Amino acid sequence: MAGVSPLLIPVTLLAALALPNHAQELIIEDDSEEELVIEDDAEQGLVIEDDGDEALVIGDDEESDLEDTVSNYDEYEDSEEEETGLRLNLEQLRAEYGHFLDSDTARYQLYGQARFSLEWQNETWELKIGGRLDSFHEQPEEGQLDGWHDTELDYDETYIRYKSGDGILTLGAQKIIWGRIDEFPPTDKLSTQDLRRGALDELDERRLASLAVRYEHFFDVGKLDLVYYPRFREAQLAGTDSVWHSVNRRQGTIFGLDTPAMVEQVVRQADIREKAPDTEGGIGIRFNRLGDQVDYALTLQRGINTLPYFAYNPSTNTLEGRYPRTTVVAADMGFEALGGTLKLEAAWNSDTPVTRNDGRFDTVASVAWGVALELFPGDGDARLNLQLVGNRLQDADDVLDRDNSSAFNGSFEAPFGEDNWRVKFRFNIGLDKKDLYLNPELAYIGWSDQEVYLAGHGFDGDKATAGGFYEDNSLLNLGWRANF
């Protein structure tokens, strides 16, 4: 638009916002002989033209992108104001009933959870004291064991945080999950796992806060992340009589092992000891670079995997939880491809626990990897994530563990019905062995901050797979959840 001052462009945009929805024109003249005409056409959009033949048309759907941007900025300012000062939060309430479909051991299970926190912050400091109450109940079938019942009050994220211009220092109990892909990121080795419900919940719900010292330093193009765990916190497992424990003494099987009949007889008679070592948890460093084309991260860790590995001690006739210390070297990256975001991740582990065919406990090196494609179909609120993952043990020809495993898994989530309903679906399909997990879910989310959901969890597979180990635990869940 020759002859029009550049300063008029922002003025014209702001003026257009003031136009009503019906057709009007605003004519702005400068000191030249040309005129700039702004016309608001309810059917066409915003038309900017000069006295020549050229015109610029900006279409909208009743509201402009600039209006959305201003609205989002206002909401951000409001949220910042609300977060300043002291607040007592009820973060989540949850109640769930689960009916087992094929189990000869358990009839149904109940689960309840409440999460709460006390928070204070200003521009520089932040204090959070978090707690959680979890209650579990498994009702056994007649003639079976007593089932498992437990109610536990525990700390959640509880820390003090200092924020400077280019860094954040956090001291206290935190959830720190490193890695890029969903569900089972190979880089995530030091976070404390919560497996009291198996893998029924998503990744963040399967992690507990651990005492840590964390410093995050921000650069123009990335971040350096340093973490030290001064106290090791082991994974939380269900009770030994629960259907979700890693050792099934009724069948004589151990999660992840292809147990022969002789071993199964030993497992049925053995005691279980889960005592974790009294030591520090480990240290890690991660550098994450954000690029125009590719984001990548490099990670180095030395510490203890929080999940116990059960090995047989013949001198005490005990299955003992072992926690070997390992070194982890990992890398991950993400970039736009195939209509979405392609993610690659791999990790080398120096000491992965195994059981030799003669029953001896040992450690070997291993490589875990994953390739994921994240898509947002229709550029809307639907999300589709597809993944190929695998794990390979080195020098492991004579072990009861799976020496080379691979799987295709993923998830899909989409709202519908004017955003009053949501459908979700998670799945895992083994590629080297039969290993199947299906998790469809339908939820009504039309209430503010609340949802009611109906979810199925189906398991099937060969021995030594997750689907095979939990194949009697398929269930149907009806639950209510409120996030505040």
Q: Classify residue 164 by burial, with Cβ atoms within 10 Å: 0-12, 13-18, 19+.
A: exposed
Q: What is the C-alpha separation between 417 and 381, in angstroms, rounded?
A: 13
Stated pTM of the model: 0.81
What are the tokens at 337?
Answer: 């491809």
Which amino acid, 25? E
What are the tokens at 142?
Answer: 């007649």
What are the tokens at 170?
Answer: 């956090």
Domains of the chain, each with CATH number or no CATH: 8-68 (no CATH), 84-483 (2.40.160)
Q: What is the pLDDT along the chain (484 residues), one digit of tens a residue?
A: 444 333 333 333 333 333 334 334 444 444 444 444 444 444 444 444 444 444 444 444 433 333 333 333 333 334 444 457 899 999 999 999 999 998 888 999 999 999 999 999 999 999 999 999 999 999 998 866 678 999 999 999 999 999 998 999 999 999 999 999 998 999 999 999 999 999 999 999 999 999 999 999 999 999 999 999 999 999 999 999 999 999 999 999 999 999 999 999 999 999 999 889 999 999 999 999 999 899 999 999 999 999 999 999 999 999 999 999 999 999 999 999 999 999 999 999 999 999 999 999 999 999 999 999 999 998 889 999 999 999 999 989 899 999 999 999 999 999 999 999 999 999 999 999 999 999 999 999 999 899 999 999 999 999 999 999 999 999 999 999 999 9
